[in-house]
Structure 1
């Protein structure tokens, strides 16, 4: 602990500016002098003193944040009141690196109470109560930090959050906190306080932003690899908690799903834009590895067709991941006969220079696969018009078919381009595509600023298989699970529902032409197997999502905020669903690992046409 300093005993004035767009202005009491922290926090999510000046608010410094855009320190009142709904901690926002204060200092703070909304009010996030524009006086130093409140399976309720107030746009901000009834209310009642978790299992691997996710509920929707599965909108995983650190980035553990943070992890409980409630650790547990291994699927038999989908995350020729992707395709996916690739960028990547061709990107991957011992794949795709398909500006992501010409042939029909719609015709009493490869209804508003589905016609052992590669609209813009609005709004669904309707209609055109046609719709659907998007794709029995052949605990291809969930899917027409030896495998090689080369796991379907 730093020694006392006379400079630190002087009053410190620190300028702080809170974005007006991120503050909530409320009617507040007329008098707000000499308050306790729990008075400021109040028993709802919004301080009764928001927007008011407060003076001589005392507390012991429990942690300093000296990095990022939200610099400052936390203080906590060691003398708690009797109300479990009122937090005893609060963040003091100093804007610049806080100086003259140290952990263990008893300080007196005067300033303005602000409700800061990380990400801005349009994000729907909850607000974080802060004291801004502070004037700080160090009263004494070397004090004991208030004991950390334990967060564990017993303390966290099984219910996630109450329904919002319908008279306030479904906001939960004004509702009285019930920390014994709802998990989010418990976390809110501890906002800014020193908390601790012990021997927690990692359910979200360390990411590039030096954060990970743990669960304090070891058996909550656990899967065999140590993750926590997200199985429905109604069944939230209440034990999830994000972990960051006040220490050096280099010291942060590089954890995979299934690992354990052994011992105590403790620090202030914060709320941020990208994870909601977050334990910002001043003390980190010790990482114990579970030695999680990357999965390998089975090799297709001679008479089986293996079809895979793999989102390779903005792959362009400048990336260093080609060999790793190739190894995954050859070794972990066992060289599928057809691979639908999502997020293949053009030859110059994110450089916004008008280039749309991706032949160099694809060829570099094909060469790497061959060098890794795999087949020499052929490929088909359709270049998009420049900057029309969403994704990273200038990158022109698109879907690409790889196929092994030694086992599968591609039926080429000329005319497919960025703006020409593929249709269904009849040749020799069987369904056929008018152009192959071709894009489904590319001018439709449902695909504005989004990837257009790529349809291709393949032949395996004399049998035609139609494959439709998709990359639906992302979830960007949806409210987070910890939003102040409950139930949360998922605005991005609207476009995905429109896209699913068009793809389902196209599949039905094929099946109306040939009832027993073999159709596979696959890719990054950006939605769950239980979602309305999937229901629309499956409507009228046209398709069935093969991930449903797995036990519920095995259904995931992506890990987000500690929730193992389905985003990537392979859906099949009735004739394939009835096929002999149908096998589906979500091959976990990326999403659970801190050194992932993509944030998505690939999937493989094997069947005898």
Structure 2
């Protein structure tokens, strides 16, 4: 090829040679989790060389087949000639292409990395080794035996290179040895996107004496952390470098005994912070840092001097791979804690105190129990905020500035509080107090945290306080029953019973497609739901998420009624509304309706709204799709000679998509149009008085899967229905029934016509579920829980009987014509009493 190019030049043809691309550096093994792996390609220093037509392929030595392939089309080397592909750019400097996965991207060995002039589609996973179109390759291991199969990728007699956890494999110097030659590789501190260190690195500093600053590796902690103004670029400016630092140990979580006496690895490290006199007076740089090290004991108040490597773990700066550490002195006064108040203007305010002692005396509120998505029972975390946060479309119209701002406001008003144990599923959770979380000592959204002091840690963009001192005040305690007006004569409730599936109804048939995995789990689920229903003591109950298995002797609804009636006094039992069909719709779950014959009587026909009888749109298509929404159950009742109609509903969830245009883009989640059309169908259908009862008294119950200001609700409001939780009869100023992603909202509703609204005395969303942690539900390790967890908190009580709060409406139903009759009789009653010589 070189000869051909020379001939072309002599012929006066203008031709530029393509720079040779080689694999210049690979880091395939890191200490702890492999989150800083990368492959560096080098063009010899030409710079800005196109990588079009190249693919990087990873081969597994266990079978000598490919397991990853990455197209490099559209990329170039940088001006210095380097290109870096990595698993997580937060942990690898100068990364040009961040690929998946973030950790364990490259197998440790014996394995190979190869650069081809080809496309990724030419190397589906499991492709065999080939030297066709091969530009360069590296075969490596971690003290593994040579893989003769992989070595065919190299020139003859070239060695398999060894990789270590603290260094990378690098050509010395940049590009020496040529393509497919590996004998010039050596080990050195990683230098992604920069000149290889190889054997030319300077003589390493000794640790030096405490207080010395002359070593070239010595740095203040503030320099290690750096000044961060952009959360998307929050890595240390000294990433990958060896540093010597001094600081005071502010918290030790290397491991030890927990409050319950159990041993734990905790965070496998400790935090250090500069003394007050060594701070840099720059508010944008942190004075503290986490040290990932658990081999040398330290104590809070120790001043330590150490040498290690600057790294990033899930966007948190740390020093790891310590080669030296000494305790300079003990019993030192801890650096002052920085006051942190919520909300912040930017997350950079929290980034600027990462690793430092912080405090808060705002009286924060527990706002979420799901943390970073792992949950209270998984990593022992909960969230606090300056106020409870509500879904944007619960408090404002979709698309409005208030609705759009709600999520951002929550992000800037949230801190996580952690138990100090990084292991999942801790056996002991030290909240809400030192006695620990238990069935009788719950953590609930709405509890307050009047005082907090600890160390600021982070996980990606989630900021976590590991507390040294903490006060939790249970100001939102459990209530044994809902708030109900004392003079009510009718109570109507709605409750989502979260996949109440009873197997075959005879103690077998578990696991089912949903719900409890065992008969023991179902028994606990049944006890919890019955406990909730007994406490509500409603006369009419609308149910959602019942197993759709009919109405026979062993059906789910009959099982529930039997269990509920076993807790009733004679004459106060329930029956269920029998719609006269084998089952309601074809979905796995359905709605149901219970009532007390001693209080109310059925009136008119029982009606189901589904696609077959739905009102139609302008195109002749049904507005109500029962392939998405569960069919609605409609029944009229009589009490005190007054008739009224109850509609029980469960509309399509936001979870799965419905293939609607711009679905979810407006903040209303998936299937908003489907729910809106169903709401339109409901209003039109109910206006026809489908039960045959001529009454304007109507109440609509159910899990509508729409927050209070969303389009489906607007359709119902426009039809004349009133959201009872937003009237002066509500027991709370800002109602809710569900918690999702740290924000509260109402998916469960009770709406009524104007006539029936006049009867309402009180409306309560009984907060037994949304504010409780899921550890309190019916599943335990003993009864069939399918995932690893320390979880034996379930009790046969109402708390966390579902994930939705029930809605309880108390009414005073007048006697039809009763008031008029009394006034009409007054003159005659007066005459009657006067004749008996009595005053009226």
* TM-score bucket (shorter structure): 0.5 to 0.7
Equivalence for 1:368: 563
1:384–1:398 contact (8 Å) kept in structure 2: yes
1:329–1:369 contact (8 Å) kept in structure 2: yes
Unaligned runs of 5+ in 2: 1-29, 37-85, 96-192, 196-215, 256-263, 370-375, 397-401, 422-426, 438-442, 503-520, 617-621, 658-663, 777-798, 815-840
2:585–2:631 contact (8 Å) kept in structure 1: no
The 5 A counterparts of 1:80-99 are 80-92=279-291, 98-99=294-295
The 5 A counterparts of 1:228-247 are 233=403, 234=405, 236=409, 240-246=414-420
Counterpart CA distance in 1 for 2:722 and 2:323 is 62
Specify the SS of the correspondent of 1:366: helix
Counterpart CA distance in 2 for 1:250 and 1:405 is 47
Equivalence for 1:138: 325
Counterpart CA distance in 2 for 1:258 and 1:17 is 39
Counterpart CA distance in 2 for 1:186 and 1:586 is 37
Counterpart CA distance in 2 for 1:138 and 1:335 is 67
TM-score normalized with structure 2 length: 0.49
2:364–2:384 contact (8 Å) kept in structure 1: yes
Return closer, same or farther for 1:30/1:501 CA change in 2, 3 Å cut-off: same
TM-score normalized with structure 1 length: 0.65
Aligned length: 495
Which residue, 602, 614, 618 being the options, matches 1:409?
Answer: 602
Equivalence for 1:330: 534
Equivalence for 1:458: 635
Asked if 1:377 is matched to 2:572, the reply is no
Higher-Rg structure is: 2
Counterpart CA distance in 1 for 2:88 and 2:700 is 42
Shift of 1:565: 3.6
Which deviates the most, 252-261 or 23-32? 23-32
1:311–1:600 contact (8 Å) kept in structure 2: yes
**After superposition, what is the alpha-carbon deviation per residue over 1:199-237, rounded to whole angstroms, capped at 9, x for unaligned?**
84553487534334445x4xx5799xxxxx988644646
Shift of 1:460: 0.8
Equivalence for 2:808: 604
**After superposition, what is the alpha-carbon deviation per residue over 1:554-574, rounded to whole angstroms, capped at 9, x for unaligned?**
412235576554332223455
Q: Which has the higher contact order (CA 8 A, sep 6+)?
A: 1
Asked if 1:189 is matched to 2:367, the reply is no
1:230–1:563 contact (8 Å) kept in structure 2: no
2:761–2:810 contact (8 Å) kept in structure 1: yes
Return closer, same or farther for 1:222/1:55 CA change in 2, 3 Å cut-off: closer
Which residue, 113, 120, 126 being the options, matches 2:311?
Answer: 113
Counterpart CA distance in 1 for 2:297 and 2:457 is 19
Counterpart CA distance in 2 for 1:65 and 1:362 is 53
Equivalence for 1:16: 33
Equivalence for 1:312: 497
Shift of 1:60: 4.4
Shift of 1:356: 13
Equivalence for 1:504: 679
Shift of 1:467: 1.0
**After superposition, what is the alpha-carbon deviation per residue over 1:316-345, rounded to whole angstroms, capped at 9, x for unaligned?**
4423143332232222x2224132234x45
Shift of 1:408: 4.4
Return closer, same or farther for 1:70/1:139 CA change in 2, 3 Å cut-off: closer
Shift of 1:138: 1.7
RMSD: 4.8
Equivalence for 1:484: none
Counterpart CA distance in 2 for 1:250 and 1:439 is 49
Counterpart CA distance in 2 for 1:202 and 1:297 is 23
Shift of 1:424: 4.3
Which residue, 296, 304, 327 being the options, matches 1:100?
Answer: 296
The 5 A counterparts of 1:150-549 are 150-151=338-339, 155-157=341-343, 182=345, 184-198=347-361, 200=363, 202-204=365-367, 207-209=376-378, 210-215=380-385, 217=386, 220=387, 233=403, 234=405, 236=409, 240-246=414-420, 249-253=428-432, 254=437, 255-256=443-444, 259=447, 261=449, 265-272=452-459, 276-285=462-471, 292-298=478-484, 304=490, 306-317=491-502, 318-319=521-522, 320-331=524-535, 333-342=536-545, 344=546, 360-373=555-568, 375-378=573-576, 382=583, 396-406=588-598, 407-409=600-602, 421-424=611-614, 440-443=624-627, 447=628, 452-461=629-638, 463=643, 465-470=645-650, 472-474=652-654, 493-510=668-685, 513=688, 520-530=699-709, 532-533=710-711, 535-538=713-716, 540-541=718-719, 543-549=721-727
Counterpart CA distance in 2 for 1:299 and 1:377 is 25
1:456–1:468 contact (8 Å) kept in structure 2: yes
Specify the SS of the correspondent of 2:670: helix
